[in-house]
Structure 1
Amino acid sequence: MTATPVLQAVSRLDLHVHEWHWPFAHERRDAIAAHFADARRSKPAMFNGRMLLARNPRFVGDSFCADYFQTDFACFLALRDWGFPDRSVFNGFGMGALRTSDGAFVLGEMGAHTANAGKIYFPAGTPDLNDLRGDIVDIPGSVARETAEEVGLTPADYRAADGWDVVTDGSLTAMIRILDVDMPGSALQARIEANLATQEDQELSAIHLVRSTADFTETMPRYIRAFLAAKL
């Protein structure tokens, strides 16, 4: 990834799942299995569940469109760790950008046991079968679910923006929806930290507030910094 991340605002997401035979998963299945076995030796909590990756991204009018297909986490992990050798496939996921009443954005730091240990970003998750509504990939639902699971906030706790910021960085596409919370940053941080303390299997190890670009760190992915730089 050398090019600068690209942001584009849209009003709608038009995302559908289709059956597709992924050549990468078939042709490299033995190497993928070995890679996942190695990864699980250091992080045994990893689970090889079903998930959704995407192809054919396009902007049509005020919509972002893409075609999704089913795969498993082992294939995704290999694709990511090997630098996305199949450029026809991308990871298209939703994120909830929590913004407090005093203008701070709230981000979580992934725990050491997770596949993205140490990375700092908004509540998010690559969509899985729980995010399907018929053949529609429900990214708004995914954002609400991940926000509830990771930080304990439900749609009653925030106002979700009508539109989305689609941020593309190489083979990653984040569909980010701002979630405004009527609470100052320090209070929301304390509330989320109290919730984390009650979780038996928490994904996050810390909560961070970002009020300006001075709060950026290298553990925040480039697309996160690009989004924040445009919004702060």
Structure 2
Amino acid sequence: MEKTEKLWILYKKDGEKMDRDRFLDFLCKDAIKIHLGKNQYFSSINNHENTAYCLISGVCALLRFTQNGEEIIYHYFKEKDVIGGVPLFLSHKGASGIHSLYSFCSLYTKTECELYKLPFSVIERKIEEEPEIGYWISEGISRHFMEVISHIHASKEDHTSGRLCRTLIELSDKKNNQYELQRYFTYGELARYLGVHSVTVSKIMLILKKMGVIEKEGHKTVIRDMELLEHLAEHPEDIVMV
């Protein structure tokens, strides 16, 4: 069951350009914080609840399950991402038919998550008050779209080693002056996202560890050499057993 609490945040100062943090502060001022457990659907792209979300903590994804129960992951969302806002821009006359085309995928919590719940009516009012809000939301939707397209393209064209390196870069967060993956991203989870066997991921990760690119700290993966990892993402042929 959802637990809710009001969030009150200061508006941006007059005359200052709105950066990402100020955008989120302004947008979420009248939002409701919700807590969701692991493995919960909380929205689909054709939902009729007219709500978007801002991810505070945890891991959630855009995915679908096939009729055979296979999980297909299209995209992971990062903290501070505004998600589920596509129907807001498809809510014009005649868009209901467009919604049904995308009913195969949903937003799904992979871990326990905290999110801000943003009714479309609130977002529309915010855009009227500060038109730049519309830019930030559309920029986020466009970025997610391009990342999904890139992921699908890479699955058809790129070498698995390069795709894994790129995925490590995309999913890592800078904490305590180092880049690390949340402990949720196990070899099995990375394999499901890439659509390969977990043994394949394990073998490549072992090579990267021997090359000094990554290191395991308990249950999390730490990137020790981001520059080399970025090089290997573009030149997977340089990944060699040492």
Class of the TM-score when normalised by the shorter of the 2 chains: under 0.3
CA radius of gyration, larger in: 2
Where relative contact order (Cα < 8 A, 6+ residues apart) is larger, the structure is: 1
Length-normalised TM-score, structure 2 = 0.24
Compare the two structures and name the one with the higher strand fraction.
Answer: 1
